[in-house]
Amino acid sequence: MMRISMSLPKKLLHEFDEVLKDRGYQSRSKGIRDALKDYIVRYQWMNEMEGERVGIVAVIYDHHYTDVMEDLTDIQHDYRKYINAVMHVHMSEKYCLEVIVVKGDVKYIRSFTEKIMRLKGVEHVRLTSTAVGENIELEAD
Ligand code: NI
């Protein structure tokens, strides 16, 4: 075992501890290990997909955050070939939800999703997609 120390926003740690409590975890370290494994599996799973897919990217962001709306729009313009529709919902005073319908080679859908994930002010991104073709299997990353 290696020992690490890390800095986290208080709110994030509090929310994480709440989830651990709900799920009956006795140890925060065990919770963090499981969360890391989950993150790795999700990333690997996303990287293993190939071919043509259709899906939705759901993004929740704080629209007060400097440049986030502009950055999000720039990325969507760059990937406009792979975007079929966009729906914007003003969720609360602070947060917006954007649902982006994407279709195309998964390598572009993946890089599009990852660019959005890296934006400051974006709180949540989820890609749900299915293969285009005979066999429908719906998977959420
Ligand atoms: Ni809005």
| Whether 123 contacts 62, CB under 8 Å | yes
Domain of 40, CATH number, reads 1.10.1220
Do 85 and 127 fall within a single domain?
Answer: yes
Residues with CB under 5 A from ligand 1 (ion): 90, 96
| Full domain range(s) for residue 106 | 50-131
Do 61 and 25 fall within a single domain?
Answer: no
Task: With 0.85 as the threshold, say if the pTM is over it.
Answer: no
Strands 83-90 and 95-105, how do they pair?
Answer: antiparallel
What per-residue confidence (pLDDT) applies to 51? 87
User: How many domains, the chain?
Assistant: 2
> For residue 13, how far is its CA from the centre of ligand 1 (angstroms)?
27
Alpha helices (H) along 23-136: 28-48, 68-78, 106-117
Tell me the per-residue pLDDT of 9-59, one tens digit each, with 9 for 90 and over: 999 999 999 999 999 999 999 999 999 988 887 777 777 788 899 999 999
Non-local (6+) Cβ contacts of 51 within 8 A are 105, 106, 131, 132
Please tell me the distance from the alpha carbon of residue 19 to that of residue 24, in angstroms, as a whole number.
9
Tell me the per-residue pLDDT of 92-108, one tens digit each, with 9 for 90 and over: 999 999 999 999 999 99
